Each structure stands twice: as C-alpha cells, then as structure tokens.
A = this chain, B = another copy of it.
Amino acid sequence: MDLKVMNGLLTPKSVAIIGASSTPGKIGHTVVKNLIESKYAGKIYPVNPKADDILGIKCYPTVTDIPGEVDAAIMTLPAKFVLESVKECGEKGVKGAIIITSGFSEVGEKALEEEIVKTAHSYGMRVLGPNIVGVLSNSDQFNGSFAPFLPLKGSGSLVSQSGALLIGIDASTYMRGVGFDKLISIGNMSDVSFADTIEWLDQDEKTKCISLYIEGFKQGRKVIEVSQKARKPIIGLKSGISAHGAAAAASHTGSLAGAAKIYDAAFKQAGIIWADDLNNLFDRTLALSLQPPMKGDNLLIITNGGGVGVLATDSAEKFGIPLKFAPDDVQTELKKHMPEFGSAKNPVDLTGMAGTEWYGDSVKFAIQHPWVDGLVVLYCETAMTDPLEIAKGIHNAVKESGVTDKPVTVSYVGGEKSEKAMKWLVENGIPAYSAPDLAINAIAALREYALNKENNQDDHLDFQGVDKQKALAVIEKARQDGRDALTEIEAKQVFEAYQLPVTHSRVAKSEDEAVKLAAEIGYPVVMKIVSPQILHKSDAGGVKVNIKDEAGVRTTYNTILQNAKAYKADANIHGILVQEMAPLGTEVILGSVNDATFGPTVMFGLGGIFVEVLKDVTFRVAPFSKKQALEMMAEIKGAPILRGVRGELPRDMDALADAICRYAHMVLDLADEVSESDANPVLVYENGKGLKVVDARIILKKK
C-alpha cells in the first residue's frame, strides 16, 4: 500500500469535483454543497466546462486547468466520460479517484471498469468505487459524498459495500448515539477493496475500531492477511448468509459449506469479530472502539437489581462467558458495600439501595482485583438514586483505579435520566446500553477479540519430510492418462507425500496376485475396485472388508469385478486394491474445496451420522495454525467423542491437529493442480497411537 496515495484518496488536502453541477438536487451539486457545509478546510475545485462558479466557488473547465495540486478527484459525471476523466487526472498528478458514478460492473460493464483501473494504475492512481456514495470523515471535516451530513462523531470507522445502507446508517448515528470517525463507501471495489481499507484504517490515528458491512469479499485471503496484522479490532456484518441467498454448490464439501460457515471460519482466522445484525454492529463497534480486550474468562457483574442481574447471567452463558462465583476475598470485600440482604456472589447485587458510593467503591475494588478480567455494571432506574451521579461514580472509580487494560461495559434500564447518563458515559469512554444482555454482548466482543488474537499467534508449523515433487509426479501421470480424478491409490500416494499416514495398499491385476499381496500385507484385508470411472466404490459393490483368508480373497476378487462390470460396463478397471485393514477407530473426515472467495479451504468433521445427518462440520481457510486446528476439533458438536465418551480414552488430538494442518498445507501447496479432495474416513486412535487415512479422493483442476 502506497500510504501517500491512499492518504490522498481518503483524507485529501484538496479535491476536484468532476461533474460538479449548478443544479440543486444533482449529485454533482450535492457533493460541492456537502463539502462546504462540512466545513472542509482543504481546497475545493469544482470542474465543469459550462459554469464559472458553483455555490460561490470558482469552477474549472478541466482538471488540468486547476492551478494547485489535487489529491483526490470526486467523479459524478456520466459513466461514459469517466475513463477520459481518469486519464486527465493521471496527467494532472491526482492521487486518487472517488468514483460516485454508477453504470459499470454492477450492470455488466466489467470491461470498462477494468480499463479505468488499469489506466489509473498506469499513473500511480488508486480508485475508490465506482458506484458509491463517497467518503466522509469527521476528523477532516470532509463530506466528500452525497450523504446529507457527517455522522455523529465517534472513534470507529465504517466501510460499507452498500451505499443505501451507508446513508441510512449515517443518519441513524444520531438516533443511536453511536458515531463514526469515517464512513467509506466502497461499492464495486474495482480497485480499493476491504483489504486496502483495513490496512489504511489500521494506520489511521483517528480510527480505534474498523467496522465492515460486507456483501462479499473480493480478495478473501488478502483480507485475512491484513486483518491478522492489524493492531486494531475489526468487526464485520456479513449479509447474504441464508440458503435463499447462497448459490447451489455442486461438491460434497461445497454443499456443506455455504457462505455463513466459510465466512465464519475466515473471520476467526482473520481475527474479525462477527456482528449478528445491524444493531449488533453498532453495539459492538462502540465497545471495541472504547475499551481494551478482555484477556481472561473471569467476568464480574455488579448490579442494583436481581432481575437485570439474572438476565445478564443468562446472556453471559449465551455469549460464551459463563459466570463463575468470585473468590472469597472478593466476596468479603464487596460485602462491605451493600446491605445484609445483598449478594457478593456473581452477579454482585448491591440492591436497590445502592447509591453512587457503593457503586464507586465496588467498581474500584473489583477492577483492581487480579481475579477480575472484565466488568459489567448494571443499573435499574430507581426513584431514590440519580442515574447521572451513578454514571459519574462508575467513571471516577475506573479512572481512580488506574486500570486501563480491563474492559468495562454498562447497562441502564430506565427513562430519560438514564438515557442522559448513558450518553454521558459513552462520551466519557464507557460503552453503555439500554438492556443488560447488550452490555454482556459488548464485553463478549472484547473477549472474542482477545481470543482471536491468541488463536492466530503463529505457531511455526514444521512440515518436515514433505515431498511436493513426488505428489506432482503422481498428478502428472494421471494428467498424461487424460484423467482429472486420481485413483484411490494415487490419491493416497499424494497424501503420503505430505506425511499423512495412509493404510498400506497395493493393486492386484489378477486373482493370484491378490492372494500374494494379501499374504504380504497380512490378514485380514480390505479389497476395493480401482477404476477412474468408479469414484463411489461402495455404491458399485466395489468394497469388501474383513477378508480373512486366501479363499476369501479369491471369491472377493471375482465378486468385485462382476459388481463393477454390472455397475458400469465400460469402466476402465486398473485392478483390485488389496489393503491393510485398519483397526477400528473414531471416524473423522477431512475435505477441501477451492472457495471462490478464499481459495483452498479445509473442512473437518466426524464421520457417519455427524456429517450425514447433522452436517456437523467446520471450516478453515488454508493454511492455519495448530491452535486453529484444535479449535476446529473443539467447536464441532461431536467434540466430546474426540475427548472420549462412555469410558473410552481420549483420541490422539495432537496427531489429528497435526494431520489437519498438514492436509491444509497439502491443499494449499497443490492449489494449482487440485480442485477438491477428501480423506474419508480417517480413523483416529487413542492418545499416542495416531491415525490412518483409510480412503482418499483427489479431483484435479481441469487444464
């Protein structure tokens, strides 16, 4: 990212409005008016060959006629003139084009859009849009958009893929009392994308939290990369995650994926906090922009009402930070700041008698105590207490405590006085919400932020012994045969090249050879058809297990051949696989797809009903840390199976995590060749005994 250029685009010191208009109501007029009304301190240069001045500001016939430097050009002229205008801007040395004009890729004019970006890049220019509302920045008093006014001031910044929503959000900041420093509309993302804006906002001093409204990323992997590096919290609201909106997927792994699951994975890996809906985006932005991450699980709730306390307790469990009772010394101290019938457990119920002093003392003590990782303070309006005084008490207590690395959120249930108190709290850096569960949800966002950061710490995976050339040679051979599916034995060779343990197996071309191989491998054996045309071997009657002796091998050899021919008469049969029969273990599945947005992406789940009935699978974009692999194993519903149920010993979690990471490495390493793959089943054994890939499948990219 060229910082100078991006600064010129997003916080310009001078702007040209190309397509500026004298006619009120036209966008080219509105933008000039908005720049004036927002008290923009930079130079404003309207460009319009037919006007001398617009709203009292001197107008220029072309951008090249402008005497001074121009950082950004806001374009509102018709689509067909944009390319020419970009060229002129390039000649003038403009750093960036904010193209408000629509009528490009969103209506099929993809080639024109690409040409514009190519041209801009040839001059070292960047392009925001087209098809956008513009850019708004409170700290620059810059309303370079056709949205009617700057948003309420705030310390988060929002990037929105929907222009209409950005305008609605802009107005609603005042009603919600949650502001933004910058609103950036990115529309078609022909050039500047989410990744660019994240990278830029991360270095923008005025932005404390980066908020995203996403319809779809264009460069998913790059978003993950820059987000992982970001030093600020990022929160995303992803729309279009319902089945009604999602495109039908063809492959098995693909059909289990869907936008929600893949984005959920990508967010986790990127360390992006998930927002459930529009209100949640605001609520969590407020917390993330004002408070530090919550670095442990010990949440303490202080309340003046049992009702809101219980509601908060329910929410804490729902949002993943279940309450624990505070230690004895905490309880003993807190007991001093409440009447006899109060409770010092957790929630700490100061009772309806609680005034500013009890609140203040409890908050100050609690936040300083090493056991406490985060604090939620609840207040239910009473006739006896002044909401604003309580707010000031809470704020002073936090301030006096000197503690700045533990988060505090607040909820008030009450009327106008409570509303004012909450506004005061927000203005003084403490997020406050109108219901207890919202304060809990907010602190949960701060906990998620800390956890995401932890889980994405690089743990330097070491993939010793990987032999990519060997894998490529297997693939090359299949390509030479004109195939785009590997046989099981080939697929296993590829898996083996990445040190994934597979069941030992060899191909017999005759009944006698099968007998010979079985003896070498050792009974019992499994026998399977080997044919590029028969991928679903079981359906074809092409798999037989637990064959115990020579007679069995001979009978089975012929049965499988007959079944295969009955299933597909013209199938090219390479022979019959004779395979080591793996001991019974816990069935898991690995799968991969090449996701359109994120590229090679790995699926993990338990086998059998877990995948078939419950769709109990989880995803990560390759590559990922071992911590992420362990998280995948922990987040499926069937996780207790891996930890051992009904007296079984725990499965070999370490070997499994290692295998998942290795598999991710494999699908990424072979991304140019492999379209999708799976290992199904993989049998996982008890701790220390590893796992075995029993069947494997690889589909090549068509070339």
Interface residues of A, Cβ cutoff 8 Å to B: 30, 107, 146-148, 160-162, 164-165, 167-176, 213, 215, 237, 239-245, 277-279, 304-308, 310-311, 313-318, 322-324, 341, 352, 380-383, 413-419, 434-438, 609, 612-614, 637-638, 640-641, 645-646
Give the one of A171, A213, A308, A637 with max B CB within 10 A: A171
Complex Cα distance, B173 from A147, in Å, reads 32
Q: How far is the CA of A471 from the CA of B102 in the complex (A)?
A: 78
Known A165-B307, A437-B277; judge A242-B313 contact (CB<8 A): yes
In-complex Cβ contact of A641 among B173, B305, B317, B609 (8 A): B609
- Interface pairs A-B: 4 shortest CB-CB: A171-B415, A162-B307, A168-B413, A165-B307
Chain B nearest CB, measured from A563 CB (Å): 17
Contact (Cβ within 8 A) A313 B172: no
Candidates B213, B242, B341, B436; contact of A278 at CB < 8 Å: B436
| A310 engages B645 (CB within 8 Å) | no
Q: A413-B168, A416-B175, A609-B641 are in contact. Are A435 and B308 (CB under 8 A)?
A: no
Given the known interface contacts A165-B413, A168-B305, the answer about A277 and B641 at a Cβ–Cβ threshold of 8 Å is no
Report B-chain residues with C-beta under 8 Å of the C-beta of A168: 305, 308, 380-381, 413-414, 418
* A429 CA / B138 CA spacing, docked (Å): 38
| CB atoms of A277 and B435 under 8 A apart | yes
- What is the bound-complex CA distance between A164 and B378, given in angstroms? 12
Chain B residues closer than 8 Å to A171, beta-carbon distance:
381, 414-418
Across-interface contacts of A609 in B (CB, < 8 A): 609, 638, 641, 645
User: In the bound complex, do residue A167 and residue B380 qualify as a contact, i.e. CB atoms below 8 Å apart?
Assistant: yes
CA distance A244 to B345 in the complex (A): 11
A172 touches B315 (CB 8 A): no
Q: Which residues of B contact A173 (CB under 8 A)?
A: 415
11 contacts between A and B (CB under 8 A): A148-B383, A168-B381, A171-B381, A172-B413, A175-B414, A175-B418, A213-B307, A242-B314, A243-B317, A244-B323, A609-B609
A279 close to B434 (CB less than 8 A): yes
Closest to A413 in B: B168
Residues of B within 8 A of A308 (CB): 164-165, 168
Bound Cα distance from A637 to B278, whole angstroms:
29
Cα–Cα distance between A637 and B610 once the two chains are bound (Å): 10
Given contact pairs A168-B308, A413-B169, A313 touches B244 in the complex (Cβ within 8 A): yes
**Chain B minimum-CB-distance residue to A278:** B435
CB distance from A569 to the nearest CB of B (A): 23
The closest CB in chain B to the CB of A441 belongs to B277
- B381/A240 in contact, CB under 8 A: no
Given A171-B414, A609-B645, A641-B613 in contact, is the A322-B243 Cβ separation under 8 Å? yes
In the complex, are the beta carbons of B313 and A415 less than 8 A apart? no
How far is the CB of A263 from the nearest CB of chain B, in Å?
12
> Which residue on chain B has the smallest CB distance to residue A351?
B164
- Contacting residues, chain B, for A279 (C-beta < 8 A): 434-435, 437-438
Closest approach, in angstroms, between the C-beta of A593 and any C-beta of chain B?
22
Question: Cβ of A311: which chain B residues have Cβ within 8 Å of it?
Answer: 237, 239, 277-278
Complex CA distance for A215 and B243, rounded to whole angstroms: 37
Closest to A245 in B: B313
Given A172-B414, A640-B613 in contact, is the A245-B314 Cβ separation under 8 Å? yes
**Distance (whole angstroms) from the CB of A357 to the closest CB of chain B:** 19
Q: In the docked arrangement, what's the CA distance between A305 and B215, Å?
A: 13
Interface residue from B239, B313, B322, B434 paired with A307 (Cβ < 8 Å): B239
Q: Are A317 and B278 in contact (CB under 8 A)?
A: no
- Contact check, A415 vs B172: say whether CB atoms are below 8 A apart: yes
Contacts of A305 in B (CB 8 A): 162, 164-165, 168
Most buried by B among A148, A305, A380, A645: A380
A613 CA / B636 CA spacing, docked (Å): 11
- The answer to whether B244 and A322 touch across the interface, beta carbons within 8 angstroms, is yes
Contact A383 B146 (CB under 8 A): yes
Q: Which residue of B lies closest to A277 (CB)?
A: B437
What is the distance, in angstroms, from A184's C-beta to the closest C-beta of chain B?
Answer: 15
Return the chain B residue nearest A147 by Cβ.
B383
CA distance A548 to B632 in the complex (A): 45
Closest B-chain residue to A276, C-beta based? B437
When chains A and B are docked, how far (Å) is the Cα of A168 from the Cα of B309?
A: 13
Quick one: closest B residue to A647, CB to CB? B539
Inter-chain contacts of A638 with B (CB < 8 A): 609, 613-614
B413 touches A278 (CB 8 A): yes
Contact across chains for B646 and A612 when beta carbons are under 8 A apart: yes
| B residues in contact with A169, CB < 8 Å | 413
**Residues of B with C-beta under 8 A to A382:** 164, 167
Contact in complex: A316, B414 (CB < 8 Å): no
> Closest CB-CB distance, A83 to chain B, in whole Å?
22
**Least CB separation from A614: chain B residue:** B637
Contacts of A323 in B (CB 8 A): 242, 244
Which residues does chain B contribute within 8 Å of A172, judged by CB atoms? 381, 413-415, 418, 434
The smallest C-beta distance from A692 to any residue of chain B, in angstroms, reads: 22
Most B CB contacts (10 A, CB to CB) among A241, A279, A314, A638 go to: A314
Within the complex, what minimum Cβ distance (angstroms) separates A258 from chain B?
A: 11
Q: Which residue of B lies closest to A165 (CB)?
A: B307
